[in-house]
Amino acid sequence: MEIFWYIIVVVMLAVYMILDGYDFGAGIVHLFIAKTEKEKKAIRNAIGPFWDANEVWLIAVGGVLFFAFPTLYAASFSGFYLPLIMILWLLIFRAIGLELRGQIHNLIWESIWDKAFGIASLLLALFFGIALGNIVRGVNLGMVENGVSTQEAHFFFLPLWNPSFSPYAEHLGIIDWFTVLLGIIGVISLTIHGANWIIFKTDSTLNKLLKSIIFKLNFVLVALVIISVSIWHIINPKPFHNFIDHPWIWIFPFITFTGLLGLFKVKSFRKDGYGFIFSSLFLFGGFTTTVASIFPNILPSTNAVNPSLTVYNVAADQYGLSVGAKWFIISAVLVVVYTIIIHKVFKGKMDNIKYGEH
């Protein structure tokens, strides 16, 4: 049952990354690329009916973690307390930026909430990339000092950064040069993803420019992915051991690079939705490749005193997991049906839906 729930969590996170990821990317495009009110309105229309529903997937992941992996939930929500609070505030400002902007038709008012929406989206993309970097790098479980564990084996707490800005420090921080690298990859990949969604859902005058930007950013993304893979062995001594032991999981890197290569053809796609499919493949493949590489670890330990948190040592009791599976299937069906309905209702181009007008 642990593996069943682990797969559920991974799939839900991947779905969240794809769905709310285009919201973040659209916000970044809104901040840096959209210049006219017509262009900004097209972006808001593209995500308006969907963004709040997309966030539900993140809440659902939190609920599943609380139920299926309570030790991981307790450790993570205390250890990553500072960035989680910051992410919460950023989610709030992104939401109210969208909802409050149209309440008053005043240039200063609209500009403030445009910036709130765009900056919050940018920082959310950065922080989620940094979060993935922390999972790959691991944390100092038990807060070991001089070879002695000062806290319970699963407990840790991270400041935002350490003075050395190094992923090798005894007292790690959330932000170091490795996690920032993954954060930048997160920003670029979600910008591409959001731009593809805007192209897919609108006939904006921005679309031709966005295709050119996607093409150029994809070169940067490929370079950063190669760099991150090249230095992975510095952070994790045996980063590819799972791929050697279980060759079938090479399907995930294959999906990742299929997405990357497909994005180079964004200018020649006959249908606007193809770019979004390829950026979704990259996000799904990149995330699943990462979690497959560290399995069965969910949160690696950077010290030799306390073991890593794994799928098996953080899971709830078998009986509870079994009973919960039956109820989860019912709720999963409802969520999937709702998602299908909302995308059916708002299928096609979204230029004229008048989202946020008052």
pLDDT range class, residue 356, cuts 50, 70, 90: low
pLDDT at 329 over 80: yes
pLDDT at 358 over 60: no
Distances (CA, A) of 270 to 205, 211, 266, 274: 17, 13, 9, 8
**Most confident residue range from 44-53, 71-80, 283-292:** 283-292
Give mean pLDDT, residues 54-58: 89
350 vs 46, more confident? 46
pLDDT at 198 over 90: yes
pLDDT range class, residue 352, cuts 50, 70, 90: confident
pLDDT for res 355: 65
Each residue's pLDDT tens digit, 262-298: 999 999 888 989 999 999 999 999 999 999 998 899 9
Each residue's pLDDT tens digit, 222-270: 999 999 988 887 787 777 888 888 999 999 999 999 999 999 999 988 8
pLDDT for res 208: 93
According to DSSP H, which parts of the chain are helical?
2-32, 37-47, 51-68, 70-79, 81-100, 107-137, 177-201, 207-235, 241-245, 251-263, 273-294, 318-345
Distance CA 21, CA 276 (A): 11
pLDDT for res 317: 86
pTM, two decimals, is 0.94
Give mean pLDDT, residues 295-324: 87
Work out the angle at residue 279's Cα, subtended by the Cα atoms of residues 278 and 283, and round it to the nearest 5 degrees.
120
Each residue's pLDDT tens digit, 33-48: 998 889 999 999 999 8
pLDDT at 156 over 70: yes
Number of CB atoms found within 10 A of residue 254's CB: 13
pLDDT at 357 over 70: no
Give mean pLDDT, residues 315-329: 84
pLDDT for res 92: 92
pLDDT for res 237: 75
pLDDT at 197 over 90: yes
Distance CA 266, CA 284 (A): 18
